[in-house]
């Protein structure tokens, strides 16, 4: 079956990028995704943000914007799945074309602009899967034309409360003008204060679901300590490092490297891992970290973990290596842990 999925992935790459993605979602909805039960191994079980994961490899937001195929991806072997980004109102996103494969670099550039069907559709899809197993998170965003973007995050939190296992506050996409301004000290204080107040009110009659913060890889190292302290002060449970970058490394080879938007995939690995290490040093074990950016192998996932990540997420590598990649990564992680004499993921976190 691995050969089948590799062939299917190669065929999808002959189509325009966004069309291929839509067809992939349709195929998964039709039940054509892989079924993998070997990724859930005792040595790979770990915890992040108060959640117990069967393995540390998660699906990053952006793949399943409308929460249409979370169970298909959980069945593929992911330890957790993050859907979205979802905004309060439906949004068509930026003009097409807006998604580009940089095949020579094993990278992707996107300027999608939070295209999604909105909270009502997202919530209905969550309702349909109620009672099913598997950890699912909602990645929350703000509408481009919103008068109060912070209110959009509060609206998303309240609308989906009780329907998923955790929430990610995405203030790091480069494709919504001005969104990254919320990473500033004063703006972040207001954002996290209002979200923490809303979560406290929502949790009065039930659990306080974990809340994560997703930051940009272009964040200045001098801001890392401040972001850690703000996240901790307002009771966030983890920081996701990182989103796509607006940088264009000089060694990019593909002719589409000039396209505007956020760059992800292999060229992001070193930059995002360096930032992760800074967060690990600043956090000193006081808040959990999730490493994202350029993961395409078990060795790269392991490098993120050794740099300080309690768990990792990936998306872009699936474009080139197919859905069986998560199984391969988990097998490699088991072998790497054994080779280093570790009996669990937790023992390896931050050892680099």
Residue 210: give the domain boundaries.
2-348
* Closest CA relative to residue 144, chosen from 215, 75, 94: 94
pTM of the model: 0.97
* Domain CATH for 69: 3.20.20.70
The tokens describing 200, both together, are 């406290």
The predicted structure's pLDDT at residue 7? 61
The predicted structure's pLDDT at residue 5? 63
**Which residue numbers are catalytic?**
173
Total count of domains within the chain: 1
The predicted structure's pLDDT at residue 39? 87
Tell me how far CA of residue 159 lies from CA of 207, 214, 327, 350, in angstroms: 15, 20, 34, 36
The predicted structure's pLDDT at residue 10? 78
State the Cα torsion 228-229-235-240 to the nearest 10°. -10
Contacts of 201 (CB under 8 A, 6+ apart): none
Q: What is the pLDDT along the chain (352 residues), one digit of tens a residue?
A: 576 666 678 778 889 999 999 999 999 999 999 898 788 899 999 999 999 999 999 999 999 999 999 999 999 999 999 999 999 999 999 999 999 999 999 999 999 999 999 999 999 999 999 999 999 999 999 999 999 999 999 999 999 999 999 999 999 999 999 999 999 999 999 999 999 999 999 999 889 999 999 999 999 999 999 999 999 999 999 999 999 999 999 999 999 999 999 999 999 999 999 999 999 999 999 999 999 999 999 999 999 999 999 999 999 999 999 989 999 999 999 999 999 999 999 999 999 9
Strand partners, 265: 107
């Amino acid at each position: 079956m691995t050969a089948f999925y590799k062939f299917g992935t190669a065929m999808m790459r002959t189509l325009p990028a966004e069309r291929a993605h839509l067809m992939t979602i349709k195929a998964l909805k039709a039940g054509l995704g892989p079924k993998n039960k070997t990724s859930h191994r005792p040595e790979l079980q770990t915890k992040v943000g108060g959640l117990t994961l069967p393995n540390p490899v998660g699906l990053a937001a952006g793949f399943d914007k409308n929460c249409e195929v979370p169970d298909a991806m959980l069945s593929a072997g992911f330890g957790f799945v993050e859907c979205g980004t979802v905004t309060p109102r439906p949004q068509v996103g930026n003009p097409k074309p807006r998604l580009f494969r940089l095949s020579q670099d094993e990278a992707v550039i996107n300027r999608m602009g939070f295209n999604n069907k909105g909270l009502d559709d997202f919530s209905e899809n969550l309702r349909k899967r109620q009672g099913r197993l598997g950890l699912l998170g909602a990645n929350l965003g703000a509408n481009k034309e919103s008068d109060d973007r912070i209110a959009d995050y509060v609206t998303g939190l309240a609308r989906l409360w009780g329907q998923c296992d955790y929430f990610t506050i995405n203030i790091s996409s480069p494709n919504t003008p001005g969104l990254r301004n919320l990473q500033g000290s004063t703006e972040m204080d207001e954002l996290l204060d209002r979200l923490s107040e809303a979560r406290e009110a929502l949790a009065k009659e039930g659990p306080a679901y974990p809340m994560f913060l997703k930051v940009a890889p272009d964040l200045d190292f001098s801001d890392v300590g401040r972001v850690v302290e703000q996240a901790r002060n307002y009771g966030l449970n983890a920081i996701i490092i990182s989103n796509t970058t607006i940088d264009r490394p000089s060694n990019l080879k593909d002719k589409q490297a000039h396209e505007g938007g956020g760059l992800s995939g292999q060229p992001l690995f070193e930059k995002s891992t360096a930032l992760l290490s800074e967060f690990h040093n600043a956090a000193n074990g006081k808040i959990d970290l999730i490493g994202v950016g350029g993961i395409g192998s078990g060795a790269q996932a392991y490098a993120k973990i050794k740099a300080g990540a309690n768990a990792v997420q990936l998306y872009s590598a699936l474009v080139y290596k197919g859905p069986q990649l998560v199984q391969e990564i988990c097998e490699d992680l088991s072998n790497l842990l054994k080779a280093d004499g570790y009996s669990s993921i937790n023992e390896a976190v931050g050892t680099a």
